Amino acid sequence: MVALALAEQALSIAAGASLEIDGVSHAFDIDGKVLPVLDDVSIKVAPGEFVALLGPSGCGKSTLLRLVAGLEPPRAGSLREDGVPITGPNPSRVVVFQDPTLFPWRHVWNNVALGLEAQGILKSQRHRVDAAIELVGLSTFRNAFPHQLSGGMAQRVALARALVNDPKILVLDEPLGKLDSLTRITMQAELVSLWQRSGFTALLVTHDVEEALFLANRVIVFSDRPAKIKADIVVDRPYPRHRGDAHLAELRRHILGLLGLDATW
């Protein structure tokens, strides 16, 4: 416990940033045809809020995350972090992708150190890498290569690689999508406690309604492509949440209805 407390201290508690997505539209050129993916999306996320984005497969949620990360500029509209326009990637907004995409040629420790190394501050900040690995409970695997890790462990390393940068906004692109259901449930609980302790703003894309309701303050439901906001639902339940909560079950039925799945429920 002491080690964990120290680990948290080393990853200084960075307060989350606010995120404003203002009238954003985006499209892709595929074989000379314009394929619209986002249609006039506006979302305001308060500092420290946990927002889940739900929607049918391929509707453009992940594209929205790429825009938030600054990996691409939007075709129309603007995105701001704490009022500052987003023009490119920045370690204050870190993405955890569906695949862990660890660098196979680096040990766990060096994978986690990637961000600090890229920013040229690794030499003075090595303790932060140790702390982040400690935080996700993989200290014994610091010298393992990625191919020696299980899927859940690899995704934990990816999480540590993001958290070591003290992100103000953590962008989660279906980070638990490929894990088995048991690992998934464990990591959902871990994610909640990490978020509660660190105070970052979280933006999560998921297909799993239950996951969204278990984790998020707000669930935003998107329509089919091009994605439009269909509903913005506040989940006003204290943490840690109970999966059998009657109110959550009610919300779940409502959201599945919005996604056009009411016939089955």
Partner 1 sequence: MPTYSASDAVPFGAVGPAGELGLFRQLHVSASGLAAGLAWLAFGMSCLWWPDIGDWPRTEGVAITAFIIAAGIVLATTTAKWLGRAGAGLQQRAPWLLALGLFLTLWEVATAKFGWLPLPFFPPPQSIVEVYTDDLPKLLDSVLASVKLQLGGYFIGAAAGFLTGVSIGWSRGVGYWVHPVLRFIGPLPATAWLPIAFFTFPSSWSASTFLIALATGFPVTVLTWSGVASVSSAYYDVARTLGAKPSFLVLKVAIPAALPHVFVGLFMGLGSSFAVLVVAEMIGVKAGLGWYLQWAQGWAAYANMYAALIVMSLLCSGAITLLFKVRDHLLVWQKGVVKW
Q: Give me the residues that bind partner 1 (CB under 8 A), please.
A: 69-71, 89-91, 93-95, 97, 99, 101, 103-106, 114-115, 117-119, 145-147, 161, 165, 171
The smaller minimum CB distance to partner 1, of residues 201 and 217, is found at 201
d(CA 109, CA 216): 30
Give me the least distance between CB of 158 and partner 1, in Å please. 8
d(CA 150, CA 102): 12
The smaller minimum CB distance to partner 1, of residues 119 and 196, is found at 119
The smaller minimum CB distance to partner 1, of residues 155 and 165, is found at 165
Give me the least distance between CB of 80 and partner 1, in Å please. 18
Question: Do 88 and 39 form a contact (C-beta atoms < 8 A)?
Answer: no
Torsion, Cα 70 72 75 79, to 10 degrees, reads -10
Give me the least distance between CB of 209 and partner 1, in Å please. 27
Q: CA torsion sign, 188 to 16 to 77 to 63?
A: negative
Give me the least distance between CB of 115 and partner 1, in Å please. 4
> Backbone phi, then psi, for 144, in 5-degree steps?
-85, 155
The smaller minimum CB distance to partner 1, of residues 60 and 233, is found at 60
The smaller minimum CB distance to partner 1, of residues 25 and 110, is found at 110
Give me the least distance between CB of 96 and partner 1, in Å please. 9
Q: Quick one: angle between helices 151-163 and 181-198, nearest 10?
A: 10
Give me the least distance between CB of 30 and partner 1, in Å please. 17
The smaller minimum CB distance to partner 1, of residues 22 and 99, is found at 99
Where does the chain have alpha helices with state H? 2-10, 61-69, 108-112, 114-118, 126-135, 151-163, 181-198, 209-215, 246-258
d(CA 178, CA 175): 8
